[in-house]
Structure 1
């Protein structure tokens, strides 16, 4: 987020009263997916919503038991605080909000923590941040600007903010994980490219060593090989060690942590080397270590070692990554056998795997149960994973949101756009805007975040099972077919342009009344554009005929009939995802 954009949203926030601020919080929080920018916004909003002098945000470290505490002064502090310690730690453990207007008499308050943070609490309000039952952190407001202390209304307001913060953090964490996975794949592919052009072992190992430090934080690293004649573990390539003690790195097999792994062939994580008698102190600053064997055809030929100046610095995810690199080192020692075509295939496979993981994480796990309606949906991916998306979104009693969309492009880029579209849509839905307003706001957010040749087609609507009506807006998507109980077919195409094309696109919405026997089929272009051997498209006409023949079937069976017709027509060949949603009025 640029400096000018930060100033703009801060100026916008300053114009809002507390009620308006809570209504606009989701929009503000979802204005960025970058975690550091989001944390600054969260801290600022916490102070404003709670009317406090200071705000704190607690996030649990994903590797250690330490808790990250950030203050509204913009200072990031990693404190040796555990669940249950201090008032903020108590809330993290018990997951209930707390108001303490006499903190000096509250035994849960840590005086050392107050000193460390540079503030003395006169009043404290803390609420947990929960997402789908999962603990993400704690919001804490310190020192109500009015001397009366925090009230129940402040607690309720901060809980409302915490719900929206949880959604924004969840989206940001997902975005960060996707970026990390993408970086890891790129680094592996870069290693392959460099290894294919080198025959020198030390040059190959240097490439691997420099690459792993890009994705696993460490302060020292080394690749060691076993000398078969002397049975010593010899240093081949290291970084971060003192030259004066490098002689200590040559060990017998079985000696030291590296020698132990070389002997047993088992990887290990040591959270505190001071507590492990096998550790050979070749580096005074080291507090934790991770070691993985290098194997070739089942034989240990060396070990890969990373060291850190922090306790508990490594986890199972780091170990898995280290094993991948250790395997790469073994292959490189005997000579890299992969060629350019294989590398390209691997890159494509990895990208598609990431894209599919993202896509699957967004799709509903089961069909909704809605009184008076029979609903079924499915997505069948192609080999080239596309950007199809559908979901059922509970809104309020008797109302269920239904969305189906298709992102231009394929692979990871399409999956990332889908993630942005989904996050924006859910954020705007929670603001209880009209459907046309939701699409207009999502369109602007996508326009500002996507390249100009990217766009999203989508339909978003709300099924009201009590009134038996469906209100929708179509943003450039393939028009769903409404087959009336008397046999007429209507195309649901009212709406506007695809999302992300023009910054100021507007959208219309339409409400249709559903009667018993009415049937709606939503679909993506993977259905109607499926080709047979003569390069003919399946088309809308064939889809409507399948609907008419199967109108008496339950929604799930009709959906299956559509898939079978498309499969038979295209002889099982698909170049695009297929997504179908069937809604039947009982």
Structure 2
């Protein structure tokens, strides 16, 4: 038997109409912020409120956190977290039922979030047999909420929960797409430089795009000493010269490095491992930097807000960490190579100067002879050599030599040969005997792959021969 339409009350008709309208409006919205705003507007049509909030569940910590609120103080919105089972909302979440409190002054588990509240209504939002959050309404009037309002909100709760879950999935996918695009841009940006200081500036700026940190730090491990040293610290948007050195395993930073696991601390004052270096810090996120399975350092973010860092922040930083580690390892390797090249250049300059000092700039004046000399090695150092030794009887020994090869080995072997000749020259040996003695000396001190061709002649001014 069909119900008589005339027997259906106007209130029941309005009730069903409201349900259909609300269901249609909330299921068509995929942006979470827009959805929560719309839920608040529609709820206000059913139950006019002074304070409205939607709490979502932090499953890891078994807490409720404020995702959207109207009529709540800003500090409450930022910091309020309620353990499941505590307060009106926590009770609704734990017991999975609507909780109506006619007078909060008589409710022993009441948690005051808004001043001058007398009654409260909390509706659990359940999707696929899982509590995803709680819709909470508060009023300054005692016994404010009617049974029909509670019944209507109860019927809407499952639709609201499904809509929130759909919006969260959509938001997660959107964030993942944005994350991949950002990671690609960051990778290109980090790949554009091998200067460590410039690189960490780019990394800090990239992270700031997604996480509004107060302090950003990168610590690198000195493996031999087992210490973490700050490579780069930004605090309140300014570079800071941080001298803190931590043994691996000490503090939150050292612990993350030792365990090779990220640490997300909602309230550092409640964690015994925290070292109070920055007194304004309230929450911290530490992620180890690993390269080829080895922890090379950590990236550390600090915030002045309690519970600031989210699971998304942690996932973002963990995804970025491997790229940061590889970029830093490559930059450090480049810097070491560059330092070695600079050191070698300095040493080569000194060696070149020493080689020039070993060979005289000008010939001594010789009557009736015009002399000139030019030494220009192909490399920075060369194996060519020349020298002259003036005897006390007026004769002049002239030495020309060429070592096989080029560069430092040839220059050193040439210096050895030149030293042997100078040592023997004082005895004024004839050229043949001098070269024989030099040959024997070099043969007694062989250097693999090195040999030299030398001419040794003596000029007699009297005979001009």
TM (normalized to structure 2)? Answer: 0.58
For the Cα contact (< 8 Å) 1:67–1:80, is it kept in 2?
A: yes
- 2:66 is aligned to 68
- Following the alignment from structure 2 to structure 1, what is the Cα–Cα distance between the partners of residues 196 and 183? 18
How big is the shift at 1:246?
3.9
Please point out which of 324, 328, 339 is paired with 2:323: 328
Cα-Cα RMSD: 3.5
For the Cα contact (< 8 Å) 1:18–1:48, is it kept in 2?
A: no
- Following the alignment from structure 1 to structure 2, what is the Cα–Cα distance between the partners of residues 194 and 135? 42
- 2:88 is aligned to 87
- Following the alignment from structure 2 to structure 1, what is the Cα–Cα distance between the partners of residues 220 and 96? 49
For the Cα contact (< 8 Å) 1:245–1:283, is it kept in 2?
A: no
Tell me if 1:138 matches 2:134. yes
For the Cα contact (< 8 Å) 1:40–1:74, is it kept in 2?
A: no
How big is the shift at 1:274?
3.3
For the Cα contact (< 8 Å) 2:262–2:286, is it kept in 1?
A: yes
For the Cα contact (< 8 Å) 2:53–2:66, is it kept in 1?
A: no
For the Cα contact (< 8 Å) 1:40–1:72, is it kept in 2?
A: no
For the Cα contact (< 8 Å) 2:282–2:306, is it kept in 1?
A: yes
Q: Where does the alignment leave 5 or more consecutive residues of structure 1 unmatched?
A: 1-15, 337-586
- Following the alignment from structure 1 to structure 2, what is the Cα–Cα distance between the partners of residues 109 and 300? 47
- 2:41 is aligned to 44
Taking a change above 3 Å as real, the CA distance of residues 169 and 200 of structure 1, as seen in their structure-2 partners, is same
Taking a change above 3 Å as real, the CA distance of residues 53 and 207 of structure 1, as seen in their structure-2 partners, is closer
How big is the shift at 1:170?
1.4
Secondary structure class of the residue paired with 1:289: strand
- 2:56 is aligned to 59
Which structure: larger Rg? 2
- Following the alignment from structure 2 to structure 1, what is the Cα–Cα distance between the partners of residues 320 and 242? 25
- Following the alignment from structure 1 to structure 2, what is the Cα–Cα distance between the partners of residues 304 and 49? 49
Taking a change above 3 Å as real, the CA distance of residues 48 and 223 of structure 1, as seen in their structure-2 partners, is same
Taking a change above 3 Å as real, the CA distance of residues 196 and 162 of structure 1, as seen in their structure-2 partners, is same
TM (normalized to structure 1)? Answer: 0.47
- Following the alignment from structure 1 to structure 2, what is the Cα–Cα distance between the partners of residues 26 and 142? 23
- 1:127 is aligned to 123
Secondary structure class of the residue paired with 1:223: strand
For the Cα contact (< 8 Å) 2:233–2:242, is it kept in 1?
A: no
Taking a change above 3 Å as real, the CA distance of residues 245 and 54 of structure 1, as seen in their structure-2 partners, is closer
Please point out which of 181, 194, 215 is paired with 1:186: 181
How big is the shift at 1:25?
0.5
- 2:155 is aligned to 160
Secondary structure class of the residue paired with 2:83: coil
- Following the alignment from structure 1 to structure 2, what is the Cα–Cα distance between the partners of residues 262 and 51? 52
How big is the shift at 1:222?
1.3
How big is the shift at 1:177?
0.7
How big is the shift at 1:34?
2.1
